[in-house]
């Protein structure tokens, strides 16, 4: 009786997958644990191994989208030959309700090329003992992605700080994880030898196994891996991706075969897979291999043909705009980080869902600059931090917000929420994208307190150490494009806030002052606001008040 191959459960939120590519043809003989197809979901790419030896009979065509538990192929003759011992476990293997996480197995949704990491040099499969259950995992600690926030369902392995096979100590940071909101550090849960289960740059779900720490010397020996292979494959077919091919030599069926993502990149570059050396499991071409691949120079044509072509080209008139021969035409693709994806999604959402408008004013910065030049040395000597422009603007904003509370308010389910405090978000350009850490209760802080908070939060942003709590809950945002040379801009509101202030560069410009034309350091200010909650009177009056406070900073000292 043919053995049915069904789509296994690959994650709690994944209900359907697409057959990206059949790696074996219809009617072809396959071996147990041999990868026969690549499946794509909306989150990752998975490999599907054969559950037994037999003749493959394909039911679903390449490119079709099907639900979890659907039968996609049959294995004729799976009950005979070398597959006989595995036959009793086959129904359990194809059960669509198998939950890899609950059984302590590697979550196949953890990467788009599952099973690439963690194979030791001796060819044994370190994943097999850990996946087989408590009886074979006595000396291994599985590390799973912890819950890092209520709304976060997946993270990306931004960077491995410890290499595969390295010795680690308990609580030592081994990796940096990146979500769509923040970056987190992952400490080791035990001391021992680290075995990666996920490659750097891959996106995995909360609760998925990211690594294993071998506490004993013999936990990954070949002897223990062999008996564990059968129950692992029987429990969940996709989990077999983490184990090595049959003993006795490296498998060659995947050599030179690109993953779907790698295949697309190679097609765009016009590079044949045969010209790329794969570094993935069994020689498979990974996305990184495709990104790093370079097209081979075209073979030289015969001299006579080259001469004739050159002559014809010289006689033909130039009718196109192609770049001259020899010019660089290379392109480079990089994965869009979760943080940048979220920023992009939020900005588009704000543009579509708010009645955003921007009003402008200008400020004479001479009084602030004179005050800074007079006290900056003593200020730094006393407080250990420099006196910058941001503290002046933050203090002025807090005063103006308390006088015009609508600018500090938010819309929530048809209601206007007014805040009697000022949590000021400061936009910072971090290496992985724009982040907005929050200065809590800025209205109560002194110039010294504000400057220290700005320095502390900016440092955390540059080091990708900001937590979600440090970036949420602001009531008003300040962004300073002037540090990059921006003269004027219309900043986008940081939802759910209702307004954002844009600072710009300081330019020496002629202005009229007391009937005289003088040169002063001037800065343009831009206030973008949601017109659904803030009227023109509030927005303009807010900027005018801000201008008064900044052009005469002593007003902030005396509250006038």
Written as one string, the DSSP assignment of 90-107 is: HHHHH-TT--TTTTTPPP
Nearest in space to 197 (alpha carbons), one of 121, 115, 282: 115
The burial of 2, by beta-carbon neighbours within 10 Å (0-12 exposed, 13-18 middle, 19 or more buried), is given as middle
Q: Is 531 a catalytic residue?
A: yes
CA distance 357 to 447: 31
Through-space distance between the first and last CA atoms of the chain, rounded to whole angstroms: 89
Active-site choice (267, 420, 463, 531): 531
On the CB side of 62, how many CA atoms lie within 13 Å of its CA? 11
> Which residues is 213 bridged to in the sheet?
141, 194
3-state secondary structure 460-476: HHHCCCCCCHHHCCCCE
Active-site choice (267, 275, 463, 535): 535
The pair of structure tokens assigned to 254 is 């995947």
With a CB cutoff of 8 Å and minimum separation 6, the contacts of 76 are 2, 54, 55, 57
Nearest in space to 73 (alpha carbons), one of 98, 94, 45, 44: 94
Question: What is the chain's length?
Answer: 560
Q: Is 196 a catalytic residue?
A: no
Nearest in space to 393 (alpha carbons), one of 273, 285, 535, 525: 525
Active site residues: 531, 535
């Amino acid at each position: 009786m043919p053995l049915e191959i069904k789509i296994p459960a690959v994650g709690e939120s994944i209900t359907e997958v697409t057959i990206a590519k059949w790696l074996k043809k219809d009617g072809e003989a396959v071996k147990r644990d041999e990868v026969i197809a690549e499946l794509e979901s909306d989150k990752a790419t998975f490999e599907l191994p054969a559950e037994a030896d037999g003749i493959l009979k394909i039911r679903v065509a390449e490119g079709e989208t099907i639900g979890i538990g659907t039968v996609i192929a049959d294995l004729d003759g799976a009950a005979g030959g070398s597959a006989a011992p595995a036959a009793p476990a086959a129904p359990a293997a194809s059960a669509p309700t198998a939950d890899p996480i609950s059984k302590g197995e590697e979550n196949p949704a953890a990467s788009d090329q599952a099973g690439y990491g963690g194979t030791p040099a001796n060819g044994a499969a370190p994943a097999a003992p850990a996946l087989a259950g408590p009886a074979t995992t006595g000396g291994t600690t599985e590390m799973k992605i912890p819950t890092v926030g209520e709304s976060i369902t997946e993270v990306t392995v931004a960077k491995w700080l410890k290499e595969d096979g390295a010795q680690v100590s308990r609580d030592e940071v081994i990796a940096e994880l990146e979500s769509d909101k923040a970056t987190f550090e992952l400490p080791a849960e035990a001391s021992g030898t680290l075995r990666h289960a996920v490659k750097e740059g891959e996106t995995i779900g909360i609760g998925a196994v990211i690594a294993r720490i071998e506490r004993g010397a013999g936990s990954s020996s070949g002897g223990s891996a062999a008996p564990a292979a059968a129950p692992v494959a029987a429990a969940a077919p996709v989990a077999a991706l983490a184990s090595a091919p049959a003993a006795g030599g490296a498998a060659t069926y995947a050599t030179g075969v690109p993953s779907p993502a790698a295949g697309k990149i190679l097609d765009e570059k016009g590079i044949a897979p045969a010209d790329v050396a794969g570094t993935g499991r069994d020689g498979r071409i990974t996305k990184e291999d495709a990104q790093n691949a370079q097209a081979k120079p075209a073979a030289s044509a015969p001299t006579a043909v080259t001469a004739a072509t050159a002559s014809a080209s010289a006689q033909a008139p130039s009718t196109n705009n192609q770049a001259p021969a020899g010019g660089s035409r290379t392109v480079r693709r990089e994965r869009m980080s979760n943080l940048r994806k979220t920023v992009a999604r939020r900005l588009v959402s704000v543009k579509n869902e708010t009645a955003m408008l921007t009003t402008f004013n200008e400020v004479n910065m001479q009084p602030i600059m004179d005050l800074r030049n007079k006290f900056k040395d003593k200020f730094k000597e006393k407080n250990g931090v420099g006196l910058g422009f941001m503290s002046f603007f933050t203090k002025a904003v807090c005063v103006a917000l308390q006088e015009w509370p609508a600018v500090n308010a938010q819309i929530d389910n048809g209601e206007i929420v007014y805040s009697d405090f000022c949590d000021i978000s400061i936009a910072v350009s971090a290496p992985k994208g724009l982040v907005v850490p929050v200065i809590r209760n800025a209205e109560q802080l002194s110039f010294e307190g504000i400057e220290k908070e700005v320095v502390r939060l900016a440092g955390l942003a540059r080091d990708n150490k900001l937590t979600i709590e440090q970036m949420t809950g602001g009531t008003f945002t300040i962004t300073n494009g002037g540090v990059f040379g921006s003269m004027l801009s219309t900043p986008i509101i940081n939802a759910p806030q209702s307004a954002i202030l844009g600072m710009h560069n300081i330019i020496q410009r002629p202005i009229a002052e007391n009937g005289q034309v003088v040169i002063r350091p001037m800065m343009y200010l831009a206030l973008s606001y949601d017109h659904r909650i803030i009227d023109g009177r509030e927005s303009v009056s807010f900027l005018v008040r801000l201008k008064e406070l900044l052009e005469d900073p002593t007003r902030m000292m005396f509250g006038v």
